[in-house]
Amino acid sequence: MGELEPGRRYGLKTRLVRGGLKRSANQETSEAMYLTSGYAYDSPEQAEARFKGEDAGYVYSRFGNPTVSMFEERIALIEGAPVARATATGMAAVTAALLCHLKQGDHVVASRAMFGGCRYVIEEVLPRFGITSTLIDGRSLDAWRAGVKPNTKVLFLETPANPTLEVIDLRAVADIAHKAGARLIVDNVFATPILQRPMEYGADIVVYSATKHIDGQGRCLGGVVLCDEKFLKEHLQIFLRNTGPSMSPFNAWVLGKALESLDLRVRAMCEHAAAIADMLAREKNVTRVIYPGRPDHPQHTLASAQMGLGGSIVTFEVAGGKRGAFAVERALKLVDISNNLGDAKSLITHPSTTTHFRLTPEARAELGVTDSMLRLSVGLEDPADIADDLAQSLKAI
């Protein structure tokens, strides 16, 4: 009772609340939390059958766990993906999605505007295993085409990108990948599965940091890889089982429950972010506002078509460079200084000295990450209070 019927089509909100639900004999309303590392077998024959894959039950929580399975099934249903596998963090998901199938001699083309950890894995970790890469300006389809080589196996991108909110044409890049016989991997954290489902545009693999909007309340780390059955069977499953970046059942329970309210939270955050972006654009100490939902965003048309709404992140530049940006951060009374994002609490960060500090000044300039730039993750507080806090802090410049 209360579980979704297999094969039947349900609306997104129903999938968010009930997807993957598997009740125990106790008929608990909330998903059960199976805090167990192992499973007992009825007989040695059953243990043998489990290991051979002839009996579908659980073997060991590094391989699978009922609470983690519920979370995986729910997020797969939301994304419209055949399967999902949960990982301990978003970075574990990205690393697994790359290393589970790439090998020595392979090549990756990636948009250079990406999360710092992803850039480290592609630029620093992959080359140690003989996997080379070309980083390009992901907004340019010509740059993607020019980056592809005969040994290119993966195109990797993030859209909108952190922190400059550049938008990349998913369908066009998926076509380029498939013509080259490569897979497209999309890090869909900023858009969330509520606004953008990259598989609908041809992406082969989608990864999330569930730490961000999926939890959305700053509690747990988590990650997800979504893919098809064939990729799971041939590459991902065996890699995850034997390298062990598993999600804890506790985190899976928190994140699975959080999915129930994801649509409501993301839509409210987007509405607040749109209002804040407009408010910032009217402030005299704000020199530039970057928000995909505003008509002055260079790719507003593409963003509207691909995401519908503008997202929950607003990036802006202030007068006075780094001193100006720091003055604003110091004067804030409600918004927290934090590099996390997608949280119910509004959070602000100065990318050039935090998330993008590891890059050379040239690499930052190439990305458009300036010293006067602030990235605001708009939360669920009253937008009028966030606006008041920003307005008073901008006076500190």
Task: Please report, as ranges, the residues that interact with ligand PLP according to CB under 6 A.
Answer: 89-91, 94, 115, 117-118, 158, 162, 187, 189-190, 209, 211-212, 221, 223
**Which of 115, 144 has the CB closer to ligand PLP?**
115
C-beta of 156: minimal distance to ligand PLP in Å? Answer: 11
Smaller CB separation from ligand PLP, 208 or 231: 208
Choose between 50 and 212: whose C-beta lies nearer to ligand PLP.
212
Report the nearest approach of ligand PLP to the CB of residue 164 (Å). 12
For residue 119, the minimal CB distance to ligand PLP (Å) is 10
Q: Which is nearer to ligand PLP, 115 or 253 (CB)?
A: 115
Q: How far is the CB of 390 from ligand PLP (least distance, A)?
A: 22
Alpha helices in the chain (DSSP H): 12-18, 44-52, 66-79, 90-99, 116-120, 141-147, 170-179, 192-195, 229-231, 237-243, 249-259, 262-281, 300-307, 321-331, 361-367, 383-394
What are the residues whose beta carbons fall under 8 Å from the beta carbon of 95, sequence distance 6 or more? 121, 125, 245
Q: Residue 227's closest CA among 236, 239, 214?
A: 236
Name which of 54 and 124 has its Cβ closer to ligand PLP.
124
Write the single-letter amino acid at 363.
A
* Spatial separation of the C-alpha atoms in residues 229 and 235, rounded to whole Å: 10
Task: Give the pairing of strands 107-111 and 152-158.
Answer: parallel
- The nearer residue to ligand PLP, 186 or 327, going by C-beta atoms, is 186
- Measured between its terminal Cα atoms, the distance across the chain in Å is 59
Tokens of 109: 């083309």
Structure tokens at 98: 């790359």
Please, which residue, 189 or 347, has the CB nearer to ligand PLP?
Answer: 189
205-209: strand order across its sheet: 83-87, 223-227, 205-209, 183-187, 152-158, 107-111, 132-136
* Shortest Å distance, C-beta 160 to ligand PLP: 9
Cβ at position 94, least distance to ligand PLP in Å: 6
Q: In this complex, which beta carbon is closest to ligand PLP, that of residue 94 or of residue 307?
A: 94
Minimum distance of ligand PLP from residue 351's CB (angstroms): 12
Residue type, 6: P
Least distance from ligand PLP to the Cβ atom of residue 376, Å:
14
**CA–CA gap between residue 86 and residue 244 (Å, rounded):** 11
Cβ partners under 8 Å of residue 100, min gap 6: 235, 236, 238, 239, 240
80 DSSP 8-state letter: T
Residue with the shortest CB distance to ligand PLP:
90
